[in-house]
Amino acid sequence: MYNSGLIVSSILLILIVFQDFTYRAVSWILFPISAISLLFLSLSQLKSTNIQGYFWGITINAGFVTLQLLFIKLYFSIKSGSIKQIINTKIGLGDICMFYTITVFFSPIYFIFFYIISLFFSVFIILLIKLISGNTYIEKNVPLAGFMALFLLIFMLINIYLKLNTLDDLRIINFLT
């Protein structure tokens, strides 16, 4: 079951990458289908019967994303002196959908690490493209959902060999201490 879920999830992530890089937009249906695929992939690696803990983790991850989006809205509202619309002006709806899509695949600590590292990965790639193009790359819309999907795909492929359980925070806590 894990291998078939990995294949389906990989295909869906490739579609998100392709659409976001090509059209700077992603068909909305890919996000819930990807979330369901990642949910089943995660459930297949759940070693204990702690389903309740898994869903609490999703709730915490979604709360983290929501809190971050509220802070972004607050920041731009304070900066401009009025309440500002941030969706499709500062951040794309597809990017937000991607944030929530990946909440089902990671425990809270893994999610925060993945989230931060994938944002740095996206910035790094954009800066690399600007450097290679001689600073002529001027794109207003960054395909953040595509970059995050690409990074998740790379992570999932590397994880075939690392065998990390992305639902178990103990390994990462032990690494940090």
Per-residue pLDDT of 63-101, as tens digits, reads 999 999 999 999 999 988 888 888 888 899 999 999 999
Total count of domains within the chain = 1
Tell me the residue type at 134: G
Q: Which residues contact 146 (CB under 8 A, 6 or more apart)?
A: 16, 17, 18, 19, 20, 21, 26
What does pTM read for this prediction?
0.91
Mean pLDDT of 163-173: 82
C-alpha span between 65 and 61 (Å, rounded): 6
Return the H-helix or E-strand segment holding 112.
helix 108-132
Q: 91 forms bridges with which residues in the sheet?
A: 87
Q: How confident is the model at residue 137 (pLDDT cuts 50, 70, 90)?
A: low
Q: Which domain holds residue 118?
A: 2-176
